[in-house]
């Protein structure tokens, strides 16, 4: 089950890496358009199909589902801030900073969820998370490096996501993953749509072609299916760090499609991340 949890976490990472790339394309084409609500709506459609094909065995009381509203708010706030950070920042940098959610999930999961991985696994998780964050620094000129507003937005987004994943973990273990992932996406969609309306941003892009990357970014929801399927039996303190290595995939896609150049020590970071994942795979 340990290996399956890691594989599902890596599947989530792959989907989220692709989602960040498509989101970057969408937010840079039109400055007054943040497609998080469109991505969320498409995610709901994907999950409705998923629930139809694989119906959950049981449903929680509505009072418990409503208790997930704070989780939806934190998730949507994270996406809202992260999409703002993508508008002006390099996706390879913002994605790596946003992936720092693994650290608060790791630190909070141990005392709050009573999860106690082995020393080797904790060391591997820390190595993977630190190396992932280093990917963001590797793209900067160290002498001129500044923690700008875009980086701050991505960092706050990662904190929101990390806390939300810990809050949602007991629910994900108690009920079928279909319920957890659908509640996550539905509440996130509701709140992020409110953010769009309040902010005065465009609900729809002026150029219809910009619908395409916004829709493709909903691959994020497929990643959530992988994540919550693993969360049903796998430690959140390990799953969050494993899934947070998705900037590796974002870097690869950004380097190929967006021509963002990688530096030599970014490859060192990637090797360190892979070593961390291997350490996590040993109980």
pLDDT value, residue 139: 46
Q: How far apart are CA 66 and CA 223, in angstroms?
A: 23
Q: Are 185 and 141 in contact (CB under 8 A)?
A: no
The 10s digit of each residue's pLDDT in 235-262 is 999 999 899 888 888 777 766 666 666 6
pTM (predicted TM-score): 0.88
Q: Average pLDDT over the chain, rounded to whole?
A: 84
DSSP-H helix ranges across the chain: 2-29, 36-53, 62-66, 69-88, 91-98, 102-113, 119-138, 149-174, 177-199, 211-216, 219-231, 236-243, 247-257, 264-280
The 10s digit of each residue's pLDDT in 12-23 is 999 998 898 888
Lowest mean pLDDT among 162-166, 174-178, 255-259, 276-280: 255-259
How far, in whole angstroms, is CA 157 from its chain's centroid?
A: 10
The 10s digit of each residue's pLDDT in 69-123 is 888 899 999 999 998 888 877 777 788 788 888 888 988 988 999 988 889 999 9
């Amino acid at each position: 089950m340990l290996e399956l949890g890691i594989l599902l976490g890596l599947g989530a990472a792959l989907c989220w890496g692709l989602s960040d790339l498509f989101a970057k394309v969408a937010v840079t084409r039109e400055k007054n358009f943040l497609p998080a609500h469109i991505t969320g709506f498409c995610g709901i459609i994907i999950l409705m199909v998923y629930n139809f094909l694989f119906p959950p065995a049981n449903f929680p009381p509505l009072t418990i589902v409503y208790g997930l509203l704070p989780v939806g708010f934190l998730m949507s706030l994270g996406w809202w801030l992260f999409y703002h950070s993508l508008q002006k920042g390099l996706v390879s940098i913002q994605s790596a900073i946003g992936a720092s959610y693994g650290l608060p999930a790791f630190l909070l999961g141990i005392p709050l969820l009573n999860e106690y991985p082995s020393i080797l696994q904790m060391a591997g998780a820390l190595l993977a998370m630190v190396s992932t964050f280093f990917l963001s620094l590797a793209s900067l000129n160290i002498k001129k490096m500044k923690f700008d507003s875009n980086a701050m937005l991505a960092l706050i987004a990662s904190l929101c996501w990390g806390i939300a994943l810990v809050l949602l973990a007991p629910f994900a273990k108690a009920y079928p993953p279909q319920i957890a992932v659908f509640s996550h996406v539905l509440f996130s969609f509701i709140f992020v749509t409110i953010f769009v309306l309040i902010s005065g941003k465009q609900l729809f892009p002026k150029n219809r072609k910009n619908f395409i990357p916004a829709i493709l970014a909903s691959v994020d929801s497929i990643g959530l299916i992988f994540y919550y399927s693993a969360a049903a039996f796998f430690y959140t303190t390990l799953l969050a760090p494993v899934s947070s290595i998705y900037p590796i995939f974002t870097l690869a896609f950004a380097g190929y499609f967006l021509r963002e150049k990688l530096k030599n020590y970014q490859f060192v970071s990637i090797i360190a991340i892979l070593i961390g994942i291997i350490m996590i795979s040993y109980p």
